[in-house]
A and B are shown apart, each in its own frame.
Chain A
Amino acid sequence: MSPIRVPHVDPLPLPGPVWLFTVLLLVVFTLHVVAMNFALGGGLWALWNYLRGRSSPHRNSRRLADELSQMLPSFLAFTVTLGVAALLFVQVLYGNFLYTSSILIGALWLMVIPLVIVAYYGYYFFSYTAEKGRTAAGWILALSVCILLAIAFIFVNNMTLMLRPERWLEMYRAHPNGWNLNLGDASVVPRYLHIVNGSIVLFSAILAHLGMRKMKSDAVYGRWLVQRAALVFATCTGLQFLFGMWLLLAIPRPIAMSLLSEPLMGGVFGLALISVIAAMLLILLGSLAERPSMLVHAGFGVSLLTLFLMVCLRFLLRMAYLRPYADLNALAVHPQIGVIAIFIVLFIGGLATVGYMLWLLARSARVRSAEAAR
C-alpha cells in the first residue's frame, strides 16, 4: 500500500489569526446555508405548489408558487455570493485538502459552474412566466431544482473527499482526468440526504415565520401557510433524525466516538439536539392553535440557532477527521493588521449600505401602502 501523501501547506504564513478565519468561515457559511436552503428548499416548495396550484381548488398553492417565483433568483444570487466568501476562508485554513479533493473530482467540480448558470436562468425564466401558469414554467423550474440537487451532490462528494487523504492516490490513479466521485465513502449518501432534507426543514421554518406575517394582511392564506409549513417542518425534522442517525453510523467509528468523548463536540452536539427538539415543539405548538401564536417566530429563531450549531459541529468533525494530517494551531501566522482593520470597517460599511438600500425600499413601500389606503 502506498503511503498517504498530503500536499504540504503554503510556505507563506497565514495573514490573520486562525480564530478569526474560523469565526468568519462559520458565520459566512451559516449565512450561505440559509440562502442555499432558501434557493433549494424554496425551489422544492415552489415546484410542489406550482404543480398543485394548477388545479382550481388549490388557490393558496398557486399564490405561494407565484410569490416564491419572484424570490428564487435573488435567493440563488445570495447563495452564490455568500458561498464565495465561505470558499475563500476555507481555502486559507484547509486549502491543501480542498484543492486536492477538487482536482480529484475536477470534471464534475467544474461542471458546477455551467450548471449553476442554467439553474439560475431557469429560476429567472420561472419568475417571468409563473404567473401565466404555463406548463413550460413548471418544467423549467423542475429542471432548475434537479440541477441544484445535482450540485448539492457534487459538493457533498468534494466536502467528504477532502477529509479522506487515504483514498486520494488510489482514486487519482484510477481516473486522473477528474471523473471521480467519493461514493466509496459510506457517509456520502446519508450526508446528502441530511443536507437536502435539511433545506426543506429550514425553509419550512422560514415559511411558517413568513406565514405569521402574512396573517396580518390575509388571515386565511397566512394561517394556511403557517400550518402547512409546520406540518412539513415536523415531518421532515422527523426524517432528519433518521438521516442524522444513518450519518452517525456511516462516519468512521473513532470520529463518531469523539462526539461523546470530546467535551466541546459533545456539548455542541447536545445543544443542537435540544435546540432542534425545541424548534419542533415551538413551531408545532404555535401553529396548531386556532390562531397561530408568536411561538412560531420563536421556533424559527431556534431553527436558525440549530443551523448555526450544526455548522459548528460540521467544522469540529472536519477537524477530527483531519487531525492526523493537519494542525491549524501549528500554522505560521503573520497577521496583516492594517488590512484586517480596513476589511472590518468596509464589512460594516457594506452591511450598512445594504441596510440603507433595504430601508429605502421599506420606506417607499410604506408610502405606497399609505397612499393606497387613502
Chain B
Amino acid sequence: MNYPHWQLALPGGMLIALVAVLHVFVSHFAVGGGCFLVVTELIARRRGDTGLLDYCRRHSKFFALLTLVFGAITGVGIWFTIGLVSPEATSTLIHAFVWGWAIEWVFFFVEIAAAIIYARTWESLPARDHMIIGWIYFVAAWMSLFVINGILTFMLTPGRWIETHSFWDGFFNPTFLPSLVARSAVSLILAGIFGYVTLPGAEEIRSRVARWAALWMVAGVVILPLALWWYFSTIPRFSQLYLNGVLIGVRHAVRGGVGFTLVALLLALICGVWKPRWMRPPVVAVMVICGLGAIGAGEYLREFLRKPWVINGVVYANDVRATQVEELQNKGVAVTANFLTTGGNDQLAYGANLFQLQCGSCHGAEGYRGMARRVDGWDAEFAADILQHIHVLRGTMPPYAGNEEDRKALGAYLASLNPPWHLQITDANRLEIGEKVFNSRCGHCHSVNGNLRALRGAFEKQTPAQVQEAFPALGMMSTDMPNFNAPDDQAQALAFYISHEANKPIAQKPTPQEMPTGSTHSQLRIPFDAGEVR
C-alpha cells in the first residue's frame, strides 16, 4: 500500500521464483564447482595426470562463462526483482542486514576476481600459485553462501530477532545451520552434474572423470536428506503442518524434488560409474534438467513453507507489514495507499485495483493460482464475507487489510470474474450440483471425509433436511465462519450432498490426532501470534 504495485501479466511472486530458481541453480554450482575444480586440479597435478589437467582447464572456461555471467547477473536480477515486487520486504531486509550484504559483497568481489584470474592463467601462473587462486575462489564463494544463507533463513525463522532486532539473532537463526549444510550438499551434487558437461572425448580419461563426478553427487545425496531432516525439524510448526499434506502443491514439490534428485543420481550411477561410455550429451542434458527441476522444487517448497509471510511475523506475502494491517482495516485502503489507479467512485474498478494491490503478488484473475476458478459460484456478499475470514482458509493467506467498504468492493470484483450460476437442479443431477456448491462454498476450508477440517463428525446420521436446518446458523457457530447465503435450490443440493457423503461407508474415519483437521488445523494461524513465532 506504501509503494505502487507493479501490474504484471503474471503474479510477481512467480517472476521472483523464475529468476531465483535460475540463479540458485547456477550459484550453487559456482560454490560446489569451484571446490570440484581445485580439488581435481590438485589430484591431477600430484599425479602428473595431463589428461585430467586438460579437463580441468576446459571445465574452468565453461565454469567461468556460466557462473561469472549468468550466475552473477541473475543474482543482481533477484535484487532488481524483489525490489520491484516486494519493496517493503526488501527494505526491511536491507535495513536489518545491509552490513551482512556488504560483507557478502566483499566475498563476491574476491570471488569474481579470483574466478577471472583462475580461468585465464592456466598457462601463465606456476601450479602452486594457480591452485592458491583456486582455493581463494572456493573459500570466497562458500563464504558468500554462508552470509546469504543467514539472511535467507531469517525470512522463515527470524528467531529472537522479532524481540531484539539484533543482527546476530536474526542471522544465526534456528534454521541457519541445517540450511547451510543442505545448501553445501546441493552444491556438491551440482558440481557433479555440471562436471559431465565438459566430459573429455578420449575413452580412458572420460571414464575416470565420469566416476569422479558421480562420487561428488553421491556425497551430496548422502548428506542432503540428513540436512533436510534437520532443517524440517527446526522450521516453525505451521510450516511443518504444510509438509504433512494439507497443501497439494507442497506434496508435489516434495515428490518432485526427491524424484528429480534420484533420477539424476541413478543416471550418474548407471552412465557415470557402471557404463561411462553411455554418458552422452542427451543423458547429461537430462541430468542438468533434473538438477534444475530439483532446485525448482526446493525453492518452491522454501517459499511455500513461509506462507502467508515473506518475512515471518513482519511482512506478509502481499508486501503488507503486519503492523500496517490494523490501520488499513480501520481507515481503509483509499485513505492509506499512496498509489491507486482509481479514485474510488466506481466500485468494480476500485475492487480490481484492490485485487492488484492485495492479491496480485500471488494471484491473477486467470492462469496459475488464478482466482476466477476459485471463486466460481460466489456472489459479491459471500465473497466480501469470506474476505473477512481469508486468513483462516488453509492458513496460507494473509489477513484482509482493508475496511468494510474495501471488502465489499473487492468482493464485487471477485464475484464479477464469473457469470452467475443458473442451475437447473433435478433428481438426477442433485448430487453432482451439491458437490459443485460444496466445492465453491465450503471446500476451501472443509472436506467431508478428507483430512481438511472434516465435516463427517458433525453431519453423520443426518438427513438432508436436518443438514439444511443448520445452514442459517453457520455464521454464528464460529467467528471464522462466513454467513450462508446461497439460494434455496443450491442449499438443498448442498445439504443432499453433505448428507450423502457423511453417511456413505468409508474404510477409515478421519482421525483428528493424525491429520490437521479442525482444531489442529487452527494451529496454522500460529504466525498471527507473535509468541509462537520461531
Contacts and interface: CB of A to CB of B under 8 A. Distances in A.
Contacts of A91: 83, 90-91, 94, 98
B6 A339 contact: no
B2 A15 contact: no
Contacts of A89: 98, 102
A172 interface: yes
Given A169-B339, A354-B110, A336 B83 contact: no
A350 B94 contact: no
B103 interface: yes
A336 B167 contact: yes
A147 to B, nearest CB: 12
A112 B80 contact: yes
B58 to A, nearest CB: 14
Q: Is the interface of B mostly helix, strand, loop or mixed?
A: helix
Contacts, number: 200
Contact of B83 (A85, A99, A177): A99
A7 interface: yes
B318 to A, nearest CB: 15
A342 B9 CA distance: 43
Contact of A104 (B4, B99, B114): B4
A100 B341 contact: no
Interface string B107-146: 1111011101100010011100100110010001000000
A368 interface: yes
B95 interface: yes
Interface stretch (A40-48, A113-121, A133-141, A314-322): A113-121
Given A13-B95, A14-B95, A353 B110 contact: yes
A338 B79 CA distance: 25
A131 to B, nearest CB: 15
A100 B98 CA distance: 19
A5 B129 contact: no
B219 interface: no
Interface in B63-91: 65, 68-70, 72-74, 76-77, 79-81, 83-84, 87, 90-91
Interface residues of B, number: 66
B330 interface: no
Nearest to B86: A99
Given A88-B94, A177-B8, A113 B74 contact: yes
A354 B103 contact: no
Interface in B293-307: none
B424 interface: no
Contacts of B113: 354, 357
A5 B72 CA distance: 35
Contact of A339 (B72, B74, B100, B132): B100
A102 B85 CA distance: 10
Interface string B43-74: 00000000000000000000001001110111
Contact of A354 (B6, B81, B109): B109
A220 interface: no
A95 interface: yes
Given A8-B2, A102-B84, A116-B73, A95 B94 contact: yes
A190 B121 CA distance: 43
A364 interface: yes
A7 B2 contact: yes
B105 interface: yes
A103 B121 contact: no
Contacts of A95: 87, 90-91, 94
Contacts of B83: 91, 98-99, 102
A360 B3 contact: no
B24 to A, nearest CB: 15
A106 B6 contact: yes
Contacts of A218: none
Contacts of B132: 360
Interface in A327-374: 334, 336, 338-340, 342-343, 346-347, 349-350, 353-354, 357, 360-361, 363-365, 368
Contacts of A87: 76, 79
Contacts of B5: 103, 176
B131 to A, nearest CB: 11
A173 B124 contact: no
Contacts of B117: 357, 361
B96 interface: yes
B323 interface: yes
Interface in A68-106: 73-74, 77-78, 80-85, 87-89, 91-92, 95-96, 98-100, 102-104, 106
B244 interface: no
Contacts of B72: 77, 80-81
Contact of B103 (A13, A15, A178, A343): A343
Contacts of B232: none
B311 to A, nearest CB: 11
Contact of B4 (A98, A100, A336): A100
- Which of A6, A354, A364, A365 counts the most chain B CB atoms within 10 A? A354
Given A176-B6, A177-B8, A354-B110, A103 B87 contact: yes
B80 A110 contact: yes
A172 B339 contact: yes
A166 interface: no
Given A96-B2, A113-B19, 4 more contacts: A81-B109, A91-B90, A92-B95, A178-B7
26 contacts: A7-B2, A7-B3, A10-B92, A12-B95, A15-B95, A15-B98, A74-B116, A77-B116, A89-B102, A95-B91, A96-B2, A98-B83, A113-B74, A113-B77, A116-B73, A120-B69, A168-B339, A172-B339, A178-B8, A334-B165, A338-B168, A339-B103, A350-B109, A353-B136, A357-B117, A364-B129
